[in-house]
Amino acid sequence: MKKLPKIKILDEKNKILRTKSKEVTFPLPEEDKKRINDMLTYLEMSQIDETREYYNLRAGMGLSYIQIGIPKRIFVISEEIEKGKFERHIIINPKIKSTSEEMVYIEEGEGCLSINRPTEGIVPRHARITIEAYDEDGKLYNIRVREELAVCFQHELDHLNGILFVDRIDPKNPYKNKDKYRAI
């Protein structure tokens, strides 16, 4: 069994998660490059049934630096594109360039590796989003994502601004305006 990288994910009770993360300067220190790789490996291992069960992990697709206690504007996403094959996204100093008017929500509910309790309700998100960001080598690029990946990008972007997905659920009416958005 592959060794799980040592990643300590903070729980929502930790006030650091409410911190607005700071811009990153380049070049990135080697320790950041290693941490980014470790975070991506951790996410991938959490998405593979055998390793998830072996290490007792919750499946996760994205992780932001603030979730491991570091207030830098960095998040990573690893999307399983076919069984055991992943597409890695390293997002540093992201800026939203455009969003779709169409709004969607995750039908079974959004989740977060920092929120270890059941949550009810919908989180309206843009169906498509274009982001400008830097890679780990400081190269600027644009990426346009849609559907679940767009939701994941918006969720991680929120983390960089000290926002948790539960903040976007109306506490009085968790399914408010559900009929106005498309379930995915």
- Looking only at the bridges linking them, the beta strands covering 103-105 and 182-183 are parallel
Question: Which residues lie across from 74 on neighbouring strands?
Answer: 92
Handedness of CA 25, 26, 30, 32 (dihedral sign): positive
Contact 155, 165 (CB under 8 A): yes
Q: Which of 61, 83, 67, 65 is nearest to 24 (CA)?
A: 65
Nearest-angstrom CA–CA distance, 72 and 20: 9
Beta strand segments in 53-158, E: 62-64, 74-82, 85-99, 103-105, 125-126, 128-134, 140-146
- 156 noted as active-site residue: yes
For residue 27, whether the previous peptide bond is cis, meaning omega lies within 30 degrees of 0, is yes
What phi and psi values does residue 71 have, to the nearest 5 degrees? -80, 60
Q: Which of 44, 79, 110, 156 is catalytic?
A: 156
- Residues with catalytic annotation? 156
